[in-house]
């Protein structure tokens, strides 16, 4: 913004002692307008700025006041307007005083508003003013003012035809005079622009009335080059996390924020836990092998376990979580004397046949367990203990030892082994049934009973030697009778009355009684013990 | 302190290697129309005429990361008027090197009022020499 003339105030004069004026400030001013205060008084007197008024401070231009012999003394101050309308008060001590203000806008707002100045005077009283200045401006676009006075006692402006070939836009801004005092006087302010810093040149002015002249030129400088500064704030960009890959068997540990986990698929390793936050986490890793006797630990969800089959070792429990776990492994061997412990369900055990050892138990849970093991050997004289059922006992023929018992539960037991020797003098104890005693001839000892259950017992062996009874030991032959019962033909002692159908052959010491033609040897020391009554 | 305002597209451009902030020609654009965050390239900005204005290229001082935080530091840019310059208020930082997209935007500042530079007047973009122009953490 170039320097421009704002306005000028009216002149103030006083020709009566005490000489004092308060010139008005120009109208329409704006902040930082530069106000030029000009006062003229007698060159022999002194003017004093006694009150600043609204503009403060006032600064005298260097070289001011300028006095000229036979003329008036010229005072020039500058001040920066901010606000207010009160003009300064200036007093003088001699003859008269005249003062006025003028203002320019667009000047430098710093303290160096007066770029340069120079004063001069002409004591010769004439109507021409020529002020050949010797100074130059230092900045472009200064406004150069010429301020000069006169000693003409008149209320009419005295100046005109201002010129300066170094300047442009020469314009008179103030030209006042007064006849107050003896004589009065006045002054002018003329401006000219100096676009390029340089010499101010020579001012010329024509006065209406010849006068001595005092003058001053000054250059108002424009504002210095404006320097705008914009402190640039910091821009911050935050990256909220790279995608985290979930490594095998590792946990993801992160503060709760907008962390996104979209990493690679998590493989579930053997016997490792999968630790992941709740969400859309997908677990599709490699199949999990179910190790022997190890637990599968997994979060509830869509986890699918299709690993290799779990081998069920012999004699070891299989521990698996409830679910769709499928066990199709190799067959489990049922070891001797070991238990099969398995959870209830569709578990199928079809292993090798179970051997039923001698005198050992088979322990198995109730169910479809099939036991088809080898036959159990029934040793002679040993009891066979087995659960009721379809047990098949088809082993080697059990030998029924002489004088030993066969103890067996009731049922379809078949004993077809070799003929059991019925020892002499021993009891045959056997349950009723189709038992066939066809063994070697049993010695029926004399005096001993044949104890047999009533039934179809058939004694078909070789001829039985009936030994003399030992129930009654006698040294002499004694009488006994043989009573016929059923199909058995009794044998009579020699003293007994024999039936007619039996031929009596009795001799002392050794008599033979024939029963149905079969000889029976009887001694006197023995009797026949049978179902016969003696 | 004029606040740095980011253009949304910048973060994607950084991620998609549009910018090489350590070597590209960063430049200042001036506007008297407020940019918006959705602007992405210089063509979206209403620039003033740069008549009578000095060069607007920004000098990169450093482009490094420390402890995981990247920092771009630039030298202050002094724009000097050699005559009257059109009024502007917004200072836009963009990358003049990429061609696709052409001249992607980085961020902008609001001076707060219009500035009309006269002859010899200057406008200094005072980048923070300590904290940098921008950081990426």
Residues of A in contact with B133 (CB under 8 A): 232, 234-235
Nearest to A138, CA basis, from A94, A198, A180: A198
In angstroms, how far is CA A470 from the centroid of its own chain? 105
Q: List all residues 6 or more positions away from A107 whose beta carbon is below 8 Å from its beta carbon.
A: A3, A32, A33, A34, A113, A143, A220, A221, A222, A223
A236:B120 CB<8 A:
no
| Structure tokens given for B101 | 């997209």
Task: Please give the residue of chain B at the shortest CA–CA distance from A230.
Answer: B125
pLDDT of residue A394: 36
Element (H, E) at B10: helix B8-15
Q: List all residues 6 or more positions away from A304 whose beta carbon is below 8 Å from its beta carbon.
A: none
Tens of pLDDT, residues A194-223: 988 899 999 999 999 999 999 999 999 988
Percent of chain A with pLDDT over 90: 39
Looking at per-residue pLDDT, the higher value among B72 and A364 belongs to B72
Task: Please give the residue of chain A at the shortest CA–CA distance from B127.
Answer: A232
Task: Please give the residue of chain B at the shortest CA–CA distance from A2.
Answer: B118
Tell me what the pLDDT averaged over chain A comes to.
Answer: 62
Report d(CA A153, CA A159) in Å as an integer.
Answer: 13
A230:B111 CB<8 A:
yes
Element (H, E) at A104: strand A97-105
Looking at per-residue pLDDT, the higher value among B103 and A262 belongs to B103
pLDDT of residue A240: 57
- Residue in B54, B70, B114, B121 to test binding to A, most A beta-carbons within 10 Å: B121
Range name among A16-30, A506-520, B61-75, B123-137 with the lowest pLDDT average: A506-520
| Structure tokens given for A112 | 């160096």
Residue with tokens 């430049």: B27
Q: List all residues 6 or more positions away from A433 whose beta carbon is below 8 Å from its beta carbon.
A: none
Which of A227, A233, A237 is the closest to B124 by Cβ?
Answer: A227
Which residues of B fall below an 8 Å CB-CB distance to A? 1-6, 10-11, 14, 91, 106-107, 109, 111, 115, 117-128, 131-137
pTM passes above 0.90 = no
Question: What is the number of other CB atoms lying within 10 angstroms of the CB of residue A492?
Answer: 20
| Structure tokens given for B27 | 């430049």
| Residues B71-82 as b or e (16 or more Cβ within 10 Å = b) | bbbbebbebbbe
Tens of pLDDT, residues B18-53: 999 999 999 999 999 999 999 999 999 999 999 999
Q: If 0-12 CB within 10 Å is exposed, 13-18 middle and 19+ buried, where does residue A175 land?
A: buried
B134:A238 CB<8 A:
no
Tens of pLDDT, residues A282-338: 444 333 333 333 444 443 333 344 433 333 343 344 444 333 334 433 333 333 333
Tens of pLDDT, residues A232-260: 988 887 765 433 444 434 444 443 333 34
pLDDT at A66 over 70: yes
Looking at per-residue pLDDT, the higher value among B135 and A471 belongs to B135
Nearest to A8, CA basis, from A174, A176, A185, A178: A174
Q: Is the dihedral of CA A107, A109, A115, A119 positive or negative?
A: positive
| Residues A252-290 as b or e (16 or more Cβ within 10 Å = b) | beeeeeeeebeeeebbbeeeeebebeeeebebebeebbb
Task: Please give the residue of chain A at the shortest CA–CA distance from B131.
Answer: A234
Residues of A in contact with B2 (CB under 8 A): 230-233
Q: Which of A107-116, A406-415, B6-15 has the highest mean pLDDT?
A: B6-15
Residues of B in contact with A226 (CB under 8 A): 117-118, 121-122
pLDDT at A496 over 80: no
Which of A231, A238, A239 is the closest to B2 by Cβ?
Answer: A231
pLDDT at A278 over 90: no
**Beta-bridge partner residues of A510:** A523
Between strands B122-127 and A227-232, the pairing is parallel
Residues of A in contact with B118 (CB under 8 A): 1, 225-226
Domain residue extents for chain B = 5-136
Tens of pLDDT, residues A427-439: 343 333 333 333 3
B6:A235 CB<8 A:
yes
Name the minimum distance, in Å, from the CA of A322 to any CA of chain B: 49
Which residues of A fall below an 8 Å CB-CB distance to B? 1, 225-239
Q: Please report which confidence band the pLDDT of residue A1 belongs to, taking 50, 70 and 90 as the band edges.
A: low
pLDDT of residue B1: 87
B121:A225 CB<8 A:
yes
Looking at per-residue pLDDT, the higher value among A460 and B27 belongs to B27
Long-range contacts of A321-324 (CB under 8 A, 24+ apart): A321/A295, A321/A296
Which of B1, B10, B122 is the closest to A228 by Cβ?
Answer: B122
């Amino acid at each position: 913004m170039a320097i421009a003339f704002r306005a000028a105030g009216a002149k103030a004069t006083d020709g009566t002692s005490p000489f004092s004026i308060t010139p008005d400030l120009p109208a329409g001013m704006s902040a930082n307008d530069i106000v030029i205060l000009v006062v003229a008084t007698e060159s022999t007197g002194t003017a004093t700025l006694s009150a600043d008024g609204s503009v403060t401070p006032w600064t005298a231009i260097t070289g001011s006041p300028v006095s000229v012999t036979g003329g008036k003394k010229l005072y020039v101050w500058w001040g920066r307007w901010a606000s207010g309308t009160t003009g300064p008060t200036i007093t003088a001590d001699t003859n008269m005083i005249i003062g006025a203000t003028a203002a320019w806008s667009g000047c430098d707002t710093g303290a160096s508003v007066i770029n340069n100045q120079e004063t001069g005077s002409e004591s010769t009283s004439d109507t021409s003013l020529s002020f050949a200045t010797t100074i130059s401006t230092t900045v472009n676009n200064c406004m150069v003012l010429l301020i000069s006075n006169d000693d003409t006692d008149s209320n009419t402006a005295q100046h005109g035809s201002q010129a300066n070939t170094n300047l442009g836009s020469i314009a008179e801004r103030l030209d006042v005079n007064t006849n107050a005092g003896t004589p009065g006087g006045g002054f002018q302010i003329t401006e000219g622009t100096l676009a390029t810093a340089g010499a101010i040149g020579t001012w010329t002015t024509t006065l209406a009335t010849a006068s001595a002249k005092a003058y001053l030129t000054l250059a108002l400088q424009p504002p210095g080059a404006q320097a705008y500064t914009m402190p640039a704030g910091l821009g911050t960009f935050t990256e909220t996390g790279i995608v985290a890959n979930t490594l095998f068997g590792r946990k993801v540990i992160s503060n709760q924020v907008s962390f996104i986990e979209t990493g690679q698929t998590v493989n579930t390793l053997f016997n490792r836990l999968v630790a992941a936050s709740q969400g859309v986490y997908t677990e599709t890793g490699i199949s999990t092998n179910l190790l022997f006797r190890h637990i599968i630990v997994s979060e509830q969800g869509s986890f699918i376990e299709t690993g290799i089959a779990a081998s069920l070792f012999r004699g070891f429990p299989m521990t698996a979580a409830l679910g769709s776990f499928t066990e199709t492994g190799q067959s489990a061997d049922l070891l001797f004397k070991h238990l099969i412990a398995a959870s209830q369900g569709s578990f199928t055990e079809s292993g090798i046949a179970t051997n039923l050892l001698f005198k050992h138990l088979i322990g198995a849970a109730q169910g479809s367990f099939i036991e088809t093991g080898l036959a159990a050997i029934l040793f002679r004289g040993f009891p066979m203990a087995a659960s009721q059922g379809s047990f098949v006992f088809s082993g080697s023929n059990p030998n029924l030892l002489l004088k030993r018992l066969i103890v067996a539960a009731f049922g379809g037991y078949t004993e077809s082994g070799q003929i059991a020797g019925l020892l002499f003098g021993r009891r045959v104890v056997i349950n009723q049934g189709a038992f066939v005693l066809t063994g070697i001839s049993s010695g029926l000892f004399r005096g001993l009973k044949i104890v047999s259950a009533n039934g179809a017992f058939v004694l078909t062996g070789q001829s039985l030697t009936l030994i003399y009874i030992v129930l009654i030991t006698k040294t002499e032959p004694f009488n006994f009778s043989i009573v016929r019962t059923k199909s058995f033909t009794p044998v009579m002692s020699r003293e007994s009355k024999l039936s007619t159908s039996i031929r009596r052959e009795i001799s002392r010491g050794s008599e033979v009684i024939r029963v149905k033609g079969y000889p029976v040897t009887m001694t006197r020391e023995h009797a026949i013990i049978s179902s016969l009554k003696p | 302190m004029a606040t740095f305002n980011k253009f949304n597209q910048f973060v994607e451009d950084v991620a998609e290697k549009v910018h090489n902030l350590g070597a590209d020609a960063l430049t200042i654009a001036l506007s008297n129309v407020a940019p918006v965050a959705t602007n992405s390239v210089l063509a979206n900005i209403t620039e003033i005429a740069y008549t009578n204005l000095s060069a607007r290229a920004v000098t990169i001082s450093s482009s490094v990361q420390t402890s995981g935080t990247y920092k771009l530091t630039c030298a202050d840019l002094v724009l000097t008027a050699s005559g009257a310059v059109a009024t502007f208020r917004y200072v836009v930082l963009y990358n003049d090197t990429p061609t696709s997209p052409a001249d992607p935007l980085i961020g902008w500042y609001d001076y707060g009022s219009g500035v009309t530079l006269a002859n010899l007047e200057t406008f200094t973009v005072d980048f923070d020499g300590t904290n940098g122009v921008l950081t990426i953490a």
